[in-house]
Amino acid sequence: MKLATLKDGSRDGQLVVVSRDLETAHFATGIATRLQQVLDDWNFLSPQLQDLYVTLNQGKARHGFEFVPSMCMAPLPRAYQWADGSAYLNHVELVRKARNSEVPASFYTDPLMYQGGSDDLLGPCDDAPFASTDWGIDFEAEIAVITADVRNGVTPDQALDGIRLVMLANDWSLRNLVPADLAKGFGFFQSKPATAFSPVAVTPDELGDAWQGGRVHLPIHVSWNGKKVGMCEAGPEMTFHFGQLIAHIGRTRNVRAGSIVGSGTVSNKDWSKGYSCIAERRCIETIEDGAPKTPFMAYGDTVRIEMRGKDGQSIFGAIEQRVVPASA
């Protein structure tokens, strides 16, 4: 099934069930009003939402209305956890190669993850406000999952059972603030502002056989100012699957329902597939020509991130955001 959260002026928005073709929505009132509520009590509430989803897809739901992605908040407008991996090692290899350093061998066996802020997540069509374009504004197209309760110490295979929903993420990054953050030794902080998510979150069964072993085997399409810049395959080159990422978090603590776990920038060894973040393009330019030439984003720039199934149907709806100045 497909779920979304509509803006209603409240902090957590209003839960709706969305039809498979993303044309129609239906309030989940009477079942649940907020997505976190569903994640807290999944086994009881999700079958009821699934029934409504079936009825909606059959065109038999009485109070369906047009689904408008720009009316969406993030499926979870605020979450108790946002832990983001860097599971496409090609991305790490490019970054390292551009600065003439090696990828440590352990990076191929031990996932790289950072803890992100999750108190203020952006809707799919929300403007992305930044106080300065000197910060090196960049998008990052990613896959993300929302978890069930997953116990401390689980194996990666067990952790796969803890995946409730899948969505897309735009992990906004401020590249020129990264060096100062990382030099302090405690990881990203100011360089990772609010992240945006796709209009709908879907259960893994919506992906059909594109969902295999905790990976999504479909290309992620990225356009920058209307120009297609990326169509990287999200499946084969994801070094660590989502079960491995969740188990990595769970090594020393519990992972609680509603945790969002990200894949990191989708990245392919085949440069002709394009890029899911500008930083990667700049790395390639540095490797090829000695210096980057593609600038980061300017005010007014837009980015669009979408994934289509083998039938051509948009699965999650599109993230479509514009960079704007932060209001003083």
Backbone angles phi, psi at 320, to 5 degrees: -140, 105
Contact segment (CB under 8 A) with its own copies among 66-74, 179-187, 205-213, 220-228 equals: 179-187
Pattern 2-21, binding to its own copies, x per CB under 8 A?
---------x----------
Tell me the window of 18-26, 52-60, 178-186, 232-240 that interacts with its own copies (CB under 8 A).
178-186
Question: Does the protein bind its own copies through residue 248 (CB under 8 A)?
Answer: yes
Contact with its own copies (CB under 8 A) among 102, 226, 227, 328:
328
Q: Does 99 help bind its own copies (rule: CB under 8 A)?
A: no
For the window 49-78, what string marks contact with its own copies as x by the rule CB under 8 A? -----------------------------x
Contact between 159 and its own copies per CB under 8 A: no
Instruction: Determine, following the binding rule CB under 8 A, whether residue 191 of this chain makes contact with its own copies.
Output: yes
List residues near its own copies by CB under 8 A: 11, 40, 78-81, 83, 86, 104, 106-107, 110, 112-120, 129-131, 135, 152-153, 174, 177, 180, 182-191, 193-194, 248-249, 251-259, 326, 328
